[in-house]
Amino acid sequence: MQQGGLWGALVGAAALLALSAPVAAYDQLVEKQEFLLEDFVTEQGASIAEVRVGWEAYGELNEARDNVILICHFFSGTSNAAGKYSEDQAQPGYWNAIIGPGKPIDTDRFYVISSDTLVNLNVADPQVITTGPASIDPATGAPYGLDFPVVSMRDFVEVQKALLDSLGIESLHAVMGASGGSVQAMEWAAAYPEMVPRVVPVISPGLDMPPYVIGLLKMWNMPIQMDPNWNGGAYYDGEPPLEGLSNALQLVTLNALHFDWADTTFGRAPAEKDGDPKAAFAAAYKVEAGLQASGDGRAATTDANHFLYMSKANMTFSVAEEIERIRAKVLFIPAEGDMIFPPFLSDRWAEKLRAQGNEAEVVTVTGPFGHLNGIFNIAQAGEAIADFLAD
């Protein structure tokens, strides 16, 4: 299941509605590659040996090595931003609508790179390469578990920087990303202002994680930590906390979508034709069954500890105190009905950036999918993206 189950039973239903018009796939099969960093020191000073992450690219790197666009993925995403690894892959990468020849992120012009992050949720997906709590600690020969160091979004960026260094890439045309990927994009703008002239944060919190969303992330974590099988993170020799993980993923899915999506996709129909929710405690509505199927499916490729570490990295994000370092011009793309990062956050941070002299604009995408309008309906912003990347 690709994209951490993004195209699973529940969100797949939303995707089919959003992608009802045919969209040409990236016209070449994508090769997943592996980057090895033999020793990495985190922002907090911890050392991690043998950091491995997967990456892929679309288009051709020019001779000057200055036509690079870096795509950073969202909370439960992977490096597969466009195209397919094989002809029988069910769906292309999540931003396939805007990446490819002649598309807004034009691979006839740009070399587009996307990598799996540290602590990627989908560690059990054979197409994902990541390092995190489920990885084997070379010092012990066993999974790290909660002995794995806490990592930050800045650490994600530093691993990506090492990957680019290994390719001889010293400048970027732009950094882009959706949701958690937008967070990484803003980290890039603050950490390496000389490398990043343009940033496109999509469905973004702006320059820090709002306290409300920190609380929301805590709520996502709780089902995992309350599952007895989680066992304080020490479950790799036993049964994983799949029930808690499924419930956590169901919360993520529901929060990332919207009332309109639920009404359109499910309405108030019962899950079973003859199962009246009024008549029996166990009888469920179709929306309940859809959430359950999605959570169970996604849990099969997701690691619970990786989920918790990804939450922590999002919680601790802030470059607000480094705003003066940011030189890039910024195109914020919020989504109508986003109940995780409402559009007013993009407006607020665009105003603050303009106040210090940055170019910053806001273009809103619409639709029934809330936060996920920034994935499913990103093509609405295609012209704005193309214009932003053109100059």
User: Using one digit for the tens of pLDDT, what is the confidence trace for 142-161?
Assistant: 999 999 999 999 999 999 99
Q: What is the mean pLDDT of residues 229-247?
A: 98
Q: Give the per-residue pLDDT at 187.
A: 98
pLDDT of 166 > 90? The answer is yes
> Strand, coil or helix: what is 69?
strand
| pLDDT computed for residue 25 by the predictor | 56
**Mean pLDDT of all residues in the chain?**
93
44-60 in b/e form (b: 16+ CB < 10 A) is eeeebeebebbbbbbbe
Region of 24 on the Ramachandran plot (φ > 0 left; ψ -120 to 50 alpha; else beta): beta
For residue 84, CA distances in Å to 50, 121, 148, 177, 255 come to 28, 20, 32, 19, 28
**Active site (annotated) includes residue 371:** yes
Instruction: Give mean pLDDT, residues 198-206.
Output: 98
Q: Which of 125, 182, 338, 346 is catalytic?
A: 338
Q: What is the mean pLDDT of residues 76-100?
A: 96
Residue 5 is predicted with a pLDDT of: 40
**For residues 193-200, average pLDDT:** 98
What average pLDDT score do residues 284-305 get? 94
Q: Residue 277 CB: number of other CB atoms within 10 A?
A: 15
pLDDT in tens, 96-137: 999 999 999 999 999 999 999 999 999 999 999 999 999 999
The residue annotated as part of the active site, out of 76, 79, 114, 179, is 179
The CATH code belonging to domain 3-390 is 3.40.50.1820
pLDDT tens profile 61-74:
999 999 999 999 99
Which residue ranges make up each domain of the chain? 3-390
- Prediction pTM value: 0.94
- pLDDT value at position 28? 77
Concerning whether 73 is annotated as a catalytic residue, the answer is no
Mean pLDDT of 231-258: 97
pLDDT confidence of residue 391:
78
Over 50: is that where the pLDDT of 6 sits?
Answer: no
Alpha carbon distances (Å) from 331 to 155, 199, 252, 286: 24, 6, 26, 38
pLDDT above 50: residue 54: yes
Q: Do residues 148 and 132 make contact, with C-beta atoms less than 8 angstroms apart?
A: yes
Confirm whether 306 is a catalytic residue: no
